Amino acid sequence: MDEEYDCIVLGTGLTECILSGLLSVEGKKVLHIDRNDYYGAECASLNLDQLWNKFRPGQTPPESIGRNRDYNVDLVPKFMMANGEIIRFLTHTDVTRYLEFKQIAGSYVFASGKIYKVPSTEVEAVTSSLFGLFEKRRAKKFFEFIQSYREDDPSTHQGLNLDKNTMIDVYTKFGLAPASQEFLGHAMALHLDDGYINQPARETIEKIRLYAASMARYGKSPYLYPLYGLGEMPQGFARYPISLSAIYGGTYMLDKKVDEIVYDSEGKVSGVRSGDEVAKTKLVICDPSYASNKVRTVGSVVRAICILDHPIPNTSDADSVQVVIPQGQIGRKHDVYVACVSSAHNVCAKDKYLAIVSTIVEGNGNPEQELEAGFKLLGPIREKFVSVSPLEEPLADGKDDQVFISRSYDATSHFETVCDDVHDLYKRITGQPLVLKQRSTQEQEQAEMAA
Amino acid sequence: MAARQQQQQGASTQGKTYQFKLVLLGESAVGKSSLVMRFVKDHFDEYRESTIGAAFLAQTISLDDNTTVKFEIWDTAGQERYKSLAPMYYRNANCAVVVYDITQSASLEKAKAWVNELQRQADPNIVIALAGNKSDLDSRRAVETETAQAYADEAGLLFFETSAKTAHNVTQLFTSIAKRMPLDQLADQSRNKNKGLNPRGVDLSRPTNPNNCAC
How far A237 CA lies from chain B's nearest CA (Å)?
11
| Domains with residue ranges and CATH for chain B | 4-191 (3.40.50.300)
Of A24, A445, A439, A246, nearest to B57 (Cα)? A445
d(CA A342, CA A348): 6
Q: Is there a domain that residue A337 lies in?
A: yes
Lowest mean pLDDT among A128-137, A214-223, B138-147, B153-162: A128-137
CATH number of the domain enclosing A139 = 1.10.405.10
Which residue in A has a C-alpha nearest to residue B207's C-alpha?
A217
Q: Is the pLDDT of residue B195 over 70?
A: no
Q: Give the pLDDT score at A98.
A: 85
Q: How far apart are CA A427 and CA A285, in angstroms?
A: 13
Residues A39 and A62 in one domain: no
Q: State the pLDDT at residue B8.
A: 44
Position A402, amino acid: Q
In this structure, the answer to whether residues A207 and A146 fall within a common structural domain is: yes
Q: Answer whether residue A52 is part of any domain.
A: no
- Nearest chain B residue to A89 by CA: give it: B204
Higher pLDDT, A87 or B56: A87
Residue A384 has pLDDT above 50, yes or no: yes
Residues A33 and A146 in one domain: no
Mean pLDDT of A424-438: 94
A96 — pLDDT class (breaks 50, 70, 90): confident
Are residues A348 and A239 part of one domain? no
* Same domain for A351 and A240: no
DSSP A169-180: HHHHHTT--HHH
Residue pair A305/A385 in contact (Cβ under 8 Å)? The answer is yes
Quickly state the pLDDT bin for A242 (edges 50, 70, 90). low
Task: Please state the ipTM of this predicted complex.
Answer: 0.79
Answer yes or no: is pLDDT of A176 > 70.
Answer: yes
Q: What are A54-70's pLDDT values in tens digits? A: 999 999 999 999 999 89
> B3: closest CA among B21, B26, B16?
B21
Q: pLDDT confidence of B4, banded at 50, 70, 90?
A: low
Burial label for A220, CB within 10 Å (0-12, 13-18, 19+), is middle
- Residues A315, A180, single domain; the answer is no
Q: At A430, which CATH number?
A: 3.50.50.60
What does the pLDDT read at residue A251? 87
> Is residue A87 domain-shared with residue A73, that is, in the same domain?
yes
Whether residues A217 and B79 touch (CB distance < 8 A) is answered with no
Number of inter-chain CB pairs under 8 A, A vs B: 107
Domain that holds residue A182: 116-218
Give B52 or B58, the one with higher predicted confidence. Answer: B58
Shared-domain flag, residues A126 and A206: yes
The count of residues in chain B is: 215
Predicted local confidence at residue A410, as pLDDT: 94
Chain B residues lying within 8 Å of A146, measured CB to CB: 214
Whether residue A347 sits in one domain with residue A314: yes
Of A374, A309, A363, the closest CA to residue A335 belongs to A374
3-state secondary structure of B131: strand
Percent of chain A past pLDDT 70, that is, above it, reads: 97
For position A439, what pLDDT does the model report? 72
Q: Are residues A138 and A212 in the same domain?
A: yes
Q: Does A450 sit within 8 Å of B88, measured CB to CB? A: no
Asked if residue A208 and residue A121 are part of one domain, the reply reads yes
* Average pLDDT, rounded, for chain B: 81
Whether residue B214 has pLDDT greater than 80: no
Domain count, chain A: 3
